[in-house]
Amino acid sequence: GCKDGSQTGLIPQAMNALFNKVETLKDQIQFQLHVSFIEILKEEVRDLLDPNSSNKSDTANGQTGKV
């Protein structure tokens, strides 16, 4: 990639903005962050950052399913 950051992707830009904001406000507010990096492949969902993630993901209502 470019050293000047001109071709930095959307996700790295968003993470940089988020962590810069946390750094700015850390003396005023306590933060707790949870990050997921989701892969959807052949209708199967998994969190690539979670070592316990299987090929199927639990949906919001607690049922395992497809997207």
User: What's the pTM?
Assistant: 0.53
Helix (H) or strand (E) holding 16: helix 10-25
Compute the distance between CA of residue 46 and CA of residue 16 in angstroms, rounded to an integer.
24
CA proximity to 41, closest of 63, 62, 61, 66: 66
If you average pLDDT over residues 16-28, what whole number do you get?
Answer: 95
Rg (CA), the chain: 16
| pLDDT-derived band at 11, boundaries 50, 70, 90 | confident
